[in-house]
Structures are given as structure tokens and as C-alpha cells.
Structure 1
Amino acid sequence: MDDLPDWLPGWCVDQLGDEPVGVLFERRSISAVFGLRLAGGRDVVVKAREDDGRAASCVAAQVRLAERGFPCARPVTPVVRVGALAVHAEESLPGGELLRGDSPDVAVRYAGVFARLMAELAEVTVAPPLPNPRWIRWGHTDPGLWPAIGFLDEKDQSLVPEYVVDAAYRARKRLLAADLPCVLGHGDYEAQNLRWQNGDVWVVHDWDSLAWQPESALAGAASATFANASPTTLAPIESSDAFLAAYQEYRGRPFTEEEQEIAWASSLWTAAHNARWEALHGTAPVSLDAVRAQATERLHRANA
């Protein structure tokens, strides 16, 4: 409890009518996430992230999905600004297990959930949650190839291999040339953000990462990242292929040739973003090796 931000106990009293008496978990990444037990015995999850204007739309969409019966945590407060932060609370949905693996069979299972998720979001109307998450923000207007991310941009960019830069440049060029409508979709569809019980999906997390991009681009990104737990990597090409084929079948609509190409281009952009991160931080070259091995084929399929 002593490690909680000073503002959090009072926020809980104001917004939830109860004070926290225990910390179930705490995670800090792009957002700070606190699992709390309140004095009355209720468990909640409080999420705080930099207020960049996205949070209200993301939480509104999450509310609609929960109301429609989709397996996600139901928000129990609106988004409240606390200094430079956007904060909300949602119900706690513990339990379930990670579904690990990156085989085509596993890819098909993840594709089924993603197709259901996208079908539900097609019935939700909110203001586009812009700017898109940085790892899927190829449409930025910042100078240079990558979206402006201060703590990355200040590092030595010569550490990023030329093959990563080339892959990102060619994938982005193809993505920006597309003439496809944008839709609402999950922009961080990774194994670590889902839990399963008895063979079925139990809960999908991380609705802060909703994005506004073409449907095939969102599906393509998901086909690349569905197996990610830690560290992040890039699914095998045959598994991305299986994911995309299954997704189209579940949605009942085959992608056009352009959509197919955009799916493959977006799959490579997300991996290149992760590879750049690895290079700049000097961590194990997992995405770096995957981009080196797969970029040529994915660029070919993207017509890039």
C-alpha cells in the first residue's frame, strides 16, 4: 500500500466510494495498472496512462462490448483526468490461462476470437481513438520513418540494422498507399492479453490499445503478434497465413487483393517496430532475427 501513488487512495474513495486496503498486483509499462481490494471486499483494477486523448473512446468501446456480452472486464468508472493522467477503474476478472504456441492450429484459434472481437466492434460507434498506439502508427505525420517517441528517438539510431529500416520503410510505403476505410479494432492482440478456460476464451484485456486502421491491417498485425507473451516476436509465416485465412472465413468475407497486401505489410511493420526497440535497448535479438528471416517473403506478399 505504501508504494501506491499518493493520488490513488483518494481517487478510489471519490470514484468508487471505498478506499483500497490491499494490493493484488501492480504492473507498469505504457500504462500503470493496479489490482486493488477495497475495504468493502470488492476487487477492482485501476488503470492510469498519459492522457493523449484516446482513453475516453477506448473505455466507451469497452463498456459497449461488456454490455454486449463480449468477454472483457466491465469499466465501473468513466475516464477521470488526474494531472497529466487519464484514469479509470474496471471490474476484476482474474483466472484463466495463457494459450501458448505459434503453430497454424493455435493461430486459427486466435483468429476465431479476433474475428468475433472485430464483428462486435463493428456495432460500436465511438470517436476514433487517435493517435493510434505507437507500434501500429504507420500513418503518423512526424518527420522521418518512425512515429516520434522521445525516449527512443534520443538513443543512437545507428544501432538499428539497415534491414530493419528497409523493411519498415517498404511496409509503411505500401500501407500509406492503401485506399481502404478505417475501422475500430484491437491494436495489441497478443497472447499475453488473453486468458482461456476449458478451451474457450475467458477474457480479452488491454482495451487501451484500440486502434483506427483498415480491417485487413488490424488482422495482419494480429496475425503477426497473436503468439506474443514475453519476449515479443513474429509468428511464422505459415501461421500468419493460417490466421488470415481463418479470419476471413469466420468473418464470411474474403479480402480483396489490396487487403491481402495490406495485411502482410502491417504484419511486418509491427515486427520492425519491436526489432527497433530491441536494437536500441540492446536486448536479445528475438524480433530482430525474425525480421531478418521473414522480411523478404512478407514484403513480397505485401507487393512492397
Structure 2
Amino acid sequence: MYGLGEGRVVVGCGGFTCQDAEMPPHACAVDPDGLARWCLEHLGSPPAEEIFRSGHLSAVIGLRLADGREVVVKVRPAAPRIAVCVEVQRRLFQAGYPCPEPLTGAAPFGGDIATAEVYIPGGSVLPGADVAAAAFAEAFARLIRLVPSPAEVSALAPAPSWAAWNHAGNGLWPRSEDSDVDLDEVSGAEWIDDAGRRARDRLRIGASGAVIGHCDWLADNLRWSGDTLQVVHDWDSVTADSEDVLVGFAAALYSTIDADKLATVEDTRRFLVAYGHARGRDLSADELHRAWAAGVWTRAYDAKFQHATGRPITSLSEDEARERLRRAGTPPDELTRATR
């Protein structure tokens, strides 16, 4: 399956009509005539065949054009940051990083915005379990080395919600892109709020200069040829933050033996060690604390969203939150116990 997280949910959909009731309406509502016109105008050729349709926050449509090229068109709500994400992806491709080549900039699609890139199929969802930590960490370190600096591109704000620990709102949690639920108004599972608050408070201490990175380093967004990285997808998940925060997100979100299971505490530790080796300098004690705190925050955000929408809480457990907070240098003994 084409690895496109596009907001942490990937659901397949065949043909120009949605075949899966679970797929969000936005991913199914792309008008085929409008798509054909857009492709002809921006790619010089209309679609001849639809290869796949998937997505969550975006409609992600694989197409074979009449001229034989295979492309992926992404349609999503208009936002200024999308053009910057495409520019970052273009520069990384030109620098030799394994990402799809952008074929267009961000162009209007009705009231939305669309982009196109080369279709790169195939690849395995995970490298070998014994090398996963090093493989994912080295791929992330290479990205950080090659990415442009924030000063070279326009602003990437706002960050995607699961990375927006320092959002401009008054509450603890930012608003999700795909829900009107105010997480700050949802009661229950107080330990999640406490974990997120403690992680955020730690992240507010000792921040370094911002770099650009990928904030959704889930296994489904990467593909491997053996233990070699083949391609990284979902470049809408580009944001700017301090390096330790971005590394902390990645270390907490990747997988080792099952793409549906996030990193364990030990998996995260191995990633952080491997990242230091890959960049040629171990993370300092402060960087490690902030990296652990970032991982707590992003997984607590997902856990809070799961709780708020009545889903099983799978992104973080109370015991794991305590251990991760301990490694972040934040005393976990006052963490509010969950209501059982």
C-alpha cells in the first residue's frame, strides 16, 4: 500500500467513488471532472486510470495519466503552509533525499488546494526489527542535515495539531484539524491532561533554535527496500521546531516489529542513541529530557483525542507516561491517577 499517513489515518478507496464508509467525506468528494481539468492544466495530461484513493485530512489519489506518467494528486483545505511544505519537499528531492519529486506547486482546486508528485509504489513498511531503531534514526538525521533552514522558506505555522505543543490558544490542547471537539472541555482520563501539561512545561525550558523536520515519523509514512530507506511520504507533516523536539516526536512514533504499534520506551531509547550516533554527536542531557518530553506530549495528545472520541486509548498508557516523564526529568509521582 502506498505509504501516506495524511493525518495518521489511511483508508483505501477504489475508483472515483468512495468504496469505504469509514473514509472521511473530504477524501471521497473530489469531482472527477474537476480532477481531469486540474491535471490537464497543471500536468499537461488528463487522467486515464485511477490507481488508488486514500487519505484522511487530504484526498490522496494515484493516477495514470493519458501520457503514461503515474502521479499522486493530493487535495486538501487551502492553507498557506502547504506551499512551504511543497518547497521543502522539492529542496529535499533536489538534495538527493528519498522523497517523491513534486510536479507542481500548491494550486487552487475549487475551494481547496492541490499538489501533484511522482508516484513511488512498493517497498516494505518496516526494515528488519534488529536494525529498525538505527534505520529510522539515520533516515531522520539525514533529513535534518539536508533540509533548508527556516530562514530560507516562508513560515510553516501553524504546526499540525499533534505537534502543536506550543500553540497560541489558551488551553492545553490545540484543536484537531478533523474534529470540532474541544479537548480542553472533555472530562475524564485526567492522567492524560497531567502528562501533557508536565511535558509541555518541560518543553518550555531551554529551547534551542528551530530547524525544519517531519513531525509524523510513523512507520506508514516510510517505505523500505530491505533495510535501505526507499521513500518518505506525507510532506504536509513538515514543521519547524527545535531539533530535540522533532527528534523526540520521531523517537516516540516510529515502529519496530509492527506498524500498528508505536515505539516502546526501550525502542525510543534506542532511537535517541542511534540518532546521536548518526549526527556525530550524542544528545546532551537537556536534549534528551526535551526529546522524551516531546514524545510524551504528542502521544498524550493522541490519547486525549482517542478518549474524547470514545475510542480505545492506545497511544499512551498511564504507566508508560510515568516512565517517559521520568526520563524527561519531570517528577512523575504527582501524576493524577486515572479514574477507573
- TM norm. shorter chain > 0.5: yes
Instruction: Name 2:249's counterpart in structure 1.
Output: 221
Instruction: Name 1:48's counterpart in structure 2.
Output: 75
DSSP-derived class of the 1:138 partner? coil
Instruction: Name 1:82's counterpart in structure 2.
Output: 109
Instruction: Name 1:262's counterpart in structure 2.
Output: 290
DSSP-derived class of the 2:173 partner? coil
Q: Distance between the aligned counterparts of 2:184 and 2:308, measured in 1? A: 7
- The alignment status of 1:23 with 2:50, answered yes or no, reads yes
Note the 1:1-304 alignment, pairs <5 A.
Answer: 2-3=16-17, 4-5=30-31, 6-99=33-126, 105-122=131-148, 125-149=152-176, 151-154=179-182, 157-158=185-186, 160-227=188-255, 231=260, 233-287=261-315, 290-304=316-330
| Residues 125-156 of structure 1 deviation map (CA, whole Å, 9 limit, x = unaligned) | 32231111110001111121111237242579
Deviation for aligned residue 1:238: 1.2
Q: Which amino acid aligns with 1:301?
A: R
Structure 1 stretches (4+) deviating beyond 4 angstroms? 154-157, 228-231
Range with greater deviation from structure 2 (53-62 or 146-155): 146-155
Deviation for aligned residue 1:283: 2.2
Give the aligned length.
300
Q: Distance between the aligned counterparts of 1:2 and 1:115, measured in 2? A: 38
| Residues 73-117 of structure 1 deviation map (CA, whole Å, 9 limit, x = unaligned) | 00011111234322110011111111068x674212211111111
Identity of aligned residues (%): 38
Range with greater deviation from structure 2 (276-285 or 264-273): 276-285
DSSP-derived class of the 2:165 partner? coil
Q: Distance between the aligned counterparts of 2:225 and 2:288, measured in 1? A: 32
8 A Cα contact 2:48 2:64, kept in partner: yes
In the superposition, relative to structure 1, how do residues 160 and 113 fare at CA in structure 2: closer, same or farther (>3 Å)? farther
Q: Distance between the aligned counterparts of 2:214 and 2:247, measured in 1? A: 9
Structure 2 unmatched runs, 5+: 1-14, 18-29, 331-340
DSSP-derived class of the 2:317 partner? helix
| Residues 178-228 of structure 1 deviation map (CA, whole Å, 9 limit, x = unaligned) | 331111001111110011113211111111100111001100110000118
8 A Cα contact 1:271 1:291, kept in partner: no
Structure 1 unmatched runs, 5+: none
In the superposition, relative to structure 1, how do residues 210 and 156 fare at CA in structure 2: closer, same or farther (>3 Å)? closer
In the superposition, relative to structure 1, how do residues 199 and 234 fare at CA in structure 2: closer, same or farther (>3 Å)? closer
Q: Distance between the aligned counterparts of 1:100 and 1:280, measured in 2? A: 34
Range with greater deviation from structure 2 (115-124 or 237-246): 115-124
Deviation for aligned residue 1:7: 2.1
TM-score, normalization by structure 2: 0.82
8 A Cα contact 1:187 1:209, kept in partner: yes
Q: Distance between the aligned counterparts of 1:256 and 1:122, measured in 2? A: 24
Q: Distance between the aligned counterparts of 2:82 and 2:43, measured in 1? A: 19
DSSP-derived class of the 1:18 partner? coil
DSSP-derived class of the 2:274 partner? helix
DSSP-derived class of the 1:153 partner? coil
